[in-house]
Amino acid sequence: MTNPSRKTRTRLIRGHLGENSPFFGKHHSKKTREKMSNARTGKKNPMFGKHHSEKTREEMSEAKTGKKNPMFGKHPTEETRKVLSAAKRGEKHPMFGKHHSKKTREKMSEAKMGKKNPMFEKHHSEQTKKKMSEARTRLNKKSPVDPILSWIQGLGSSNFSWRELTESEKLKILS
C-alpha cells in the first residue's frame, strides 16, 4: 500500500486498538524491557545532547496549562493523599539524613528576600495572627523549649546552638 489516505490510516490504526490489538493482554518480559531501554539510552537516544528551544518549551507548557492539563479540576482523595504522604515519610523521603550546605541555605534565603518573598507587602489577618499565636503556645507547652531558654538566659549567651551541646548537657537541661 503506497501512501494511504488519512482516512485509511485512521481506520487501520483504530482496527488495532484495545482488544483488536495483536499485543492486547500481553506484556514485554523484564529482559525485553531492559533491551528496549538500553537501545535508547545515552548516545542512542534521539534527544541525546539536544535541548528544546525556549519557544518549544513554552509551547509544551502552554499545551498542558489550565483546562488542557489532564489533572485540571481534579483533587486526590483523602486516602490517596495519605498513601502519597506515607510513601515519602522517614527513610523514604529524598532528603532523609541529608542537609543543605551553608551555601545552598544562603541561596534559598536570598531567593525569598524582598519582592521575591510571597509575603512581600502583605500582612496576616488578625484571625491568622491569633491562630499562629495559639499554635506557638501549644508547641511551647509540649516541647522542652522553656527550660532551654531559661538555661540560655542564665548563661547570658546570645550565640547559643543546641546542636553544639553534648548529650549529657542536653539531658541536664531537660531534666
Question: Measured between alpha carbons, how far is 55 from 38 in angstroms, rounded to an integer?
Answer: 30
Which pLDDT value is given to residue 21? 85
Task: Tell me, yes or no, if the pTM score tops 0.75.
Answer: no
DSSP annotation string for 32-98: HHHHHHHTTSGGGSTTTT----HHHHHHHHHHTSGGGSTTTT----HHHHHHHHHHTSGGGSTTTT-
Give tens-digit pLDDT for 9-62.
888 888 788 888 888 899 999 999 999 999 999 999 999 999 999 999 999 999
Give tens-digit pLDDT for 47-80.
999 999 999 999 999 999 999 999 999 999 999 9
Give tens-digit pLDDT for 79-91.
999 999 999 998 9
Grid cell digits, residue 124: 496576616
Which pLDDT value is given to residue 7? 85
Instruction: Say what percent of the chain tops pLDDT 70.
Output: 83
Average pLDDT, the chain: 85
